[in-house]
Structure 1
């Protein structure tokens, strides 16, 4: 049997002291580790500080884990912000390094992983975008669209790819809608002297001259004969003149081929290609815009959406071009004006009180032996003498009044009103007074009461109209009212007597000009007199025996108004204000014109030009 002998220091006070010393040393070490981690953070050594705090959090999670998580999340937020800034500036490699640093701190960080994926995807998109741009430079629009489609399939919101795709599609649509550009040979000068010649013969001559092919519609009659005398004119002008004078039209198929057809409604519907254009209106009412376009141009098809302020037009390019100019001229912002209004109510009240104020009564009393005035016995009544009477006078007996007062006061309202052109603006400064109305039913004799409210105070209504020359016409309606007194009817209903002053006018001011409207005056005068009857009315000395009070009140309303134009009346550009619109039957922004300097003739009886040969 082995006996283990315990040493005295293992169980005694020495053991407790040893354990306490070890705890103190451990606490001191933890404190200094935290201080060292803070110094590393201040020096920018985030990785080392986080490693130290992570070790402390493992040793004592309750004490240090929260601090570790706070420092870690702050470092991740700063790294994420730096990575996104680098990526936005196109520094993908540096941004990826920052994302990798985030993963070293938190290997499962979703933002860092998605950021790296976005960088990889962005590199592929940039490669495809470069291919699209190179294909556009080479004229390969199909190849460019394929590359852009690859980009938009992975990232539908890519702004640069969307912009390039929209530009290509717009250019392609315009190219398909517009007529192909004809050969330069059509601008070659030609001289024609043809009298009563069949149309196919004229077209054959023009074809040999310009190397342009003509295809005739089956309904174009071969027996059409024409006469034309033209000298030093282009082939295109001569062709247009022949077609227009014979009620024919053309359609360009390519740079060297034209289709000739009869110019009537049926053939135009068959051959004329139409374009759909959507107009998003900014300011104009879509219904009014539709009415304007229908009146002036009458396109083939129109649709209006009031919710989106959108107008869709379907017609040929000439009608679309004319509609664009009408929209540009009509769809403009309403002008606005800032009205600086100052309203003053000037009150002048005066009071004059002058004269001697006499007592209005004197009293005489009888004093009894009991000391109570007015209570006498029969014996006391028999023994009355002059000492029994008392004279009661007011104190003071006379008052000399010499008083004159005056008062001037101003009540100011200074609103600033911004209002659109030809819109009404209202300002009310005052109260709404309730008015009770009783209605009696004649059949049942039952009564019902209803309450309406009457505006009392200062009410201003203005309607401006802004002109092109920066002048403003303003319709002004000013009303100032107040409750004079309350009137109660026999049935107990309360009514009000309203005093009012109003002015209505229309004036025209320049921008920044101030106009003063005054003269709404209300005068009140009063006179009262109190004195000795008879003596107070004696001329000259009447004031010695009377007291007279004169009152005067005067109130005037003054309005000052200044218009300041915030947005002036817009003026469209000159090409929108006036442009060709074609003939009565066809809307054209490109009218038929002949080459300047040429000489033309088109009737069989027309003489030949002087320089023309036989």
Structure 2
């Protein structure tokens, strides 16, 4: 009987819910009745509400999530839908319903994709809303969400024991309960500290003007206690034995943690080493496809792993390696070499580090009268450019030297001006100026090589000769591995290799002469390392003759002469590393 009564009451109220709007609508259609909202539609960025007669309306916006609400008092909602998916550029969906029955209020809610500006107007029996994206509010909202996520992420990853307050405190306790002391430390540091029944006893300690972090650790050491982090702002105080026992029976959780910059395999090794040291028995699985780690561990272990990952997984710095490969002709007076050193400078290092030298090769030349303005640590006057003076400020080894040498240039402007002068007089030419960007600690390779074709002949069993061409490569290969130090200096492991074809050849092809060296240097950001000694000697034979007469047998020798010439070129390689700032 009771069940039949409940069904009757429910059916009655449902009937009223659907019949009443129909009754209102019928009243409105009979003239002199109630206003009716019959449809809500979207046309581009316009939202149109169709009514049988206009009524005063109210429009307001809400955030979190973004919504636009239209309320029309004294109106019956009868559109035939309560929810309609739109998914336009600004609107996701429309919701409508009879907000109130007494007094009557019809409500339409636009679920938006972001903040909008709107302009409401009326046209005959319609209410029209023109929507426009609010870029400023949207940017503010995005920045607010990003900052909130960043704050939450930072709070989760913050290592409380490393970030304890450093403010100076004074403590004076005699026979105080250790629990009361821990509570006081918790209130002072604004860090939640929890402990179990194993933490008990009295403590006497007198500290005057010591950092809070040192005082906290001293108190734990005196009582044989340890602190472990459980969450973003929770420290658990317990005994080592109790902590170890809890680790063996702790409930484990699984979490997927993406790794942004390091390889997940490398990160796994670091985490496993920490797990082993702390006595945890968690497991780590690498997902190579997404460079992620699946970690199963206790809550404490997961928090520790997250903190370690946040410290290790930092965006690596990058280094721009600028290089210039210059070929200088050592003939016509340049056989004496271009000097490494600057005229009049002591060979020792300057106190400000303005000149660092590995090699001191060749003579100083004659001092001249050209001023060096604004170059720290250099003399006011030095010699002229050219064979008789310091030239470019770098020394090419004399003809007897064949070793690869290294040197530094603190300022690049003077070299650029001198190089331009040499190029103008056809004594030097810039072969290439390659640039390459590499990650800190990763090797970069710069190649300036050319393919040299040579002809080979193959004799078949039938005696037929088949000729073909094969290429061999020769030139400059430069391997540079930069490492950025904490003081923003750069450690360069640099290996230059030069290869030149000789005049000799074998059946397998021309003979390639190769020279290489390797060194490690430390230079400042933007300084230039100079590599010299890459000398190529080429012997050429030429013949000059009088036309016709020089070709006459026997007597033609009196009308021609043969010249042997030795061409000597040196390659200079200038390497300038620059740290790329974010």
Q: TM-score, structure 1 length as denominator?
A: 0.38
Q: Is the radius of gyration larger for structure 1 or structure 2?
A: 1
Report which of the two has the higher share of strand: 2
TM-score, normalization: structure 2? 0.39
Q: Which has the higher relative contact order, 1 or 2, with Cα contacts under 8 A spaced 6 or more apart? A: 1
